[in-house]
Structure 1
Amino acid sequence: MDYIEKLKKYAELVVKVGLNVQKGQKVSISADIDAIDFVRAVTKAAYEVGAVEVIQDLTDGPSTQMKYEYAPIETFKKTYEYQKQRIDTHLEERVAHLRIYSQTPELLKNADPEKIAANATALGELNKDFARAVGRFDFSWCIVAFPNVAWAELVFPDLKGEEARTKLLDAMIAAVRADQADPVLAWEEHNRNLNARARLLTEKGFDRLHYKSERTDVEIGLNQHHIWMGASAVNAEGVEIQVNMPTEEVFTSPDFRRVNGIIGNTRPLSYNSAIIDDFKLTFKDGSVTDFEAGVGYDVLKNMLETDAGARRLGEIALVPDDSPISNSGILYYNTLFDENASCHVALGRSFPGALKEGKALSKEDLEAHGLNQSLIHVDFMIGGPDLSIEGIHKDGTKEFIFKDGNWVI
């Protein structure tokens, strides 16, 4: 495929499978201007299936860097009423939201960690209603990626410029199955497989899971009425959507109160365009009581101090080491891709849909059932070829779910 054909197939897949845009619907796209070719391709594809308006919310990486260099910290602590009004309007109209990651993960590597933390807290507060609606799948949303040169050169340090970007784009297109003869059909089969795995785990009804590897030794409790979820979701209007492209995971939200042990990362975490790596978190009775980091200690510290829920788990996700992205050998430095090469967990906000009848519960009721509430939701990777996971039933009987990093059930 030439460049234009790649963009066309990728955009059509995002519109038809990811967002599953319906006739008469509004669509919002947030991206960096480095992805403008892809933004235009998605815009065209959305109009072609019947969207009535496509709203573009574009940023610029170098300008963002300037803001963090020159603006006072008070700037990062502020949000404005017009921003809240826009969010409320989008929620009321159930606008479909597409997020395109398109900047280098190291965009803010030299930025003040306190400014990064202040901005994350302010945006978390601004978006808390939006985030709850996302977790309930009140509307269609999807997250994808498109490379810029700086990101590509980080991933492929032996290549430069457009050669690097082309290679990363090809890798991304393969990861989302847009290189296949019929990408839509490929995703239908992929969804069936992951959703079947999720149903099996739900039927098992484990009380807790024990993770064991060189870097991790932790026991994570599950709610009595937990639900495992697969690749696709169904929004409030009954439309099937694909919220992450790519995805190789089945996931649920744990009982945050019942997490004890040590969890260590196995791939770098890019948090708000700053890298955190070689870190370990110690949990006692569900909360992080100690932590260390070889890279990005201050960024990690500030993230954990966002609110009480930032020190608790909101998601656990199972991905085999023998997955397409893992087998590619590519480290993307981006959670959207790297989490699909590895089992992962998330600090922060849980998913209401991970609890039977959870979508109808208030945040207070969800927390009473052990589903964490927070302004953040940050996934990080903990899997690898040495990871084993045992499912433990209430009567104490055990059953391996993973051995040597891969499924055994």
Structure 2
Amino acid sequence: MDPRIREHAEIIANHSVDLQEGDNVVVDAHPVAEDLAVALHEVIGDRGANPVTTSQRTGKRQQRAYLRASDDEFETPDHELALIENTDVYIAIRASDNVTQTSDVDPETQAAHRQAHQPILEERLSTRWCLTQFPAPANAQLAEMSTEAYEGFVWDAVNKDWEAQRDHQENMVELMDAGEEIRIVSGETTDVTMSIDGNPTINDHGEHNLPGGEVFTAPQPDSVEGEVLFDMPLYHQGREITDVYLEFEDGEVVSHSAAKNEDVLTNVLETDDGARRLGELGIGMNRDIDRFTYNMLFDEKMGDTVHMAVGRAYDDTVGEDNEANESAVHVDMIVDMSEDSRIEIDGEVVQRDGTFRFEEGGV
């Protein structure tokens, strides 16, 4: 087995989920990620923990079959919820043999299924959880890379000194935590402001998401004003959505468009009331992620990007006296900040053209 896979498994166990003796562990992995699942089981066995392997979340082929045969009416599956209720550690391994496997499933069906599974998502988020990536050939193909090159890209971003990364990102955390209002400007197409007053900034250094490499918080739901063009594509429900444009008034999306698959975007925004508001603002800071790969787990961490998510706000990004945006969805979208762009906190520029003021050559 490639030693980088074993290192990946050790980082998950030691750094991301703090695996302990007696832990009940769910490893949710697509079959093409078998090598990483095997390496994790070796670590789990060595620690005296108890593994169960599923492909419930990542097995897109069987999910497609189920959803296409369904009548669009779903209830929360009690047996799946019971499994997670008895889980201490949940590890999801992204990998695919076909990244567009669910592209012919009706978006409304997928939205209804996702809403029924919201209690299970909530329960997963209460565990020690980690979402990571195995460099499968289909993901390499989507990134327009050879499998070998993509393997190097993934493990360079994952198998790194996460304490050093934490220290680097803490510079931005301190700036955001001291601020009240943040403004994102990029070219003539993006100019949006939002209040982050009282909401803590999270330093993501490879714990829940592996790779990490961002700092993020939640905007106050009613505070978002302006317009954003998300000029990097995203895959959602097996479909590519490009050039997403959102206009906000009093925190709510009042106008939207997309150059491709606008209907998928519309279905996301119509999921529930919270889907038309922002639940997250994230700043990418992982310099080992230096190219776009159509994989949000990596793309949102690039050091010259920001991302915003419509939908659910994470509980730990909402201050005690502030309102949390609630939704069954959380969909991230990315703005390229490498040129003609800036981030301001309370009117002070803290990043210009992708370079932070605390980096060499910064503002």
TM-score (norm: length of structure 1): 0.80
Matched, 1:300 2:265: yes
Q: CA offset at residue 62 of structure 1? A: 3.2
Amino acid across the alignment from 2:64: Q
**1:283-298 mapped onto 2 (5 Å cutoff):** 283-298=248-263
Measure the CA separation in 2 of the matches of 1:296 and 1:197: 35
Amino acid across the alignment from 1:402: Q
Q: CA offset at residue 128 of structure 1? A: 5.4
- Name the SS for the 2:227 alignment partner: strand
Matched, 1:56 2:53: yes
Q: What is residue 139 of structure 1 aligned with on the other side?
A: 127
* Structure 1 unpaired stretches of 5+: 158-163, 233-240, 359-365, 393-397
Q: What is residue 280 of structure 2 aligned with on the other side?
A: 315
- Name the SS for the 1:209 alignment partner: strand
Q: What is residue 119 of structure 1 aligned with on the other side?
A: 113
1:305-361 CA-partner distances (Å, limit 9, x unpaired): 1111111111111125x8221x3x3x22111011011211111111222244x3xxx
Measure the CA separation in 1 of the matches of 2:71 and 2:249: 33
Q: What is residue 229 of structure 1 aligned with on the other side?
A: 202
Query: Which structure carries more helix by proportion?
Result: 1
Q: CA offset at residue 196 of structure 1? A: 4.2
Q: What is residue 168 of structure 1 aligned with on the other side?
A: 150
- Name the SS for the 2:101 alignment partner: coil
Aligned-residue identity in percent: 26
Q: CA offset at residue 262 of structure 1? A: 0.8
Measure the CA separation in 1 of the matches of 2:247 and 2:71: 31
Q: What is residue 26 of structure 1 aligned with on the other side?
A: 24
Matched, 1:153 2:141: yes
* Structure 2 unpaired stretches of 5+: 359-363
Q: What is residue 327 of structure 2 aligned with on the other side?
A: 374
Amino acid across the alignment from 1:188: E
Measure the CA separation in 2 of the matches of 1:81 and 1:264: 40
Measure the CA separation in 2 of the matches of 1:51 and 1:337: 32
1:182-218 CA-partner distances (Å, limit 9, x unpaired): x4xx11221222234313431x2x2211111133111
1:214-244 CA-partner distances (Å, limit 9, x unpaired): 3311111123x22212124xxxxxxxx7111
Q: What is residue 211 of structure 1 aligned with on the other side?
A: 184
**Hey, which bits of structure 1, 4+ residues long, moved more than 6 A?**
none
Q: Is residue 73–residue 118 contact of structure 1 (8 Å, CA) maintained in 2?
A: no
Matched, 1:101 2:91: no
Q: CA offset at residue 148 of structure 1? A: 2.5
- Name the SS for the 2:336 alignment partner: coil
Q: Is residue 93–residue 133 contact of structure 2 (8 Å, CA) maintained in 1?
A: yes
Taking structure 1 as reference, are residues 87 and 304 closer, same or farther at Cα in structure 2, changes over 3 Å only? same
Say how many residue pairs are matched.
351
Q: Is residue 190–residue 228 contact of structure 2 (8 Å, CA) maintained in 1?
A: yes
- Name the SS for the 1:344 alignment partner: strand
Q: What is residue 357 of structure 2 aligned with on the other side?
A: 408
- Name the SS for the 1:314 alignment partner: strand
Q: CA offset at residue 63 of structure 1? A: 3.1
TM-score (norm: length of structure 2): 0.89
Measure the CA separation in 1 of the matches of 2:329 and 2:91: 19
Taking structure 1 as reference, are residues 73 and 263 closer, same or farther at Cα in structure 2, changes over 3 Å only? farther
Measure the CA separation in 2 of the matches of 1:115 and 1:269: 20
- Name the SS for the 2:242 alignment partner: strand
